[in-house]
Amino acid sequence: MILGSVTPLHVRVDVDEHDAWRVRGGALAAASPRGNGSIRIPLEFVRFEPYVIPKKSLTGDSTERVDTRVLQVIYRVKDQNASLYVEQQMDVYIKTPDAANPSAQGSESAAGHGQ
């Protein structure tokens, strides 16, 4: 049995530790359900988890590193009426600063995967 509240619905995003430096608190983000990239659901930054941890959900892709560590970022789904389910996998796009100018807001980057 799993107990908990699903309102508000949150997304836990795994950001590869090599990209973690690019993610800022309060950064704009949007999620798309796996398999339907045409849907963009706005997300609101909640918090960073305090530790970089080993990645738990490996895809099995031959190019994937098995020693990957991730920074987990928690976002709140802004539209609580969105057709989403608990534990559903999402592709999450986080607005990141330009590499050349870290203080400026830059382009959108596919920085992580969420559940």
Give residue-wise pLDDT tens across range 6-37: 788 999 999 999 899 999 999 999 999 988 88
Using omega within 30 degrees of 0 as the cis cutoff, is the peptide bond preceding 97 cis?
A: no
Can you give the pTM of this predicted structure?
0.77
Chain center to CA of 20: 11
- Find the Cα–Cα–Cα–Cα dihedral 68, 64, 39, 83, rounded to 10°: -60
Give the pLDDT band (50/70/90) at residue 110: very low
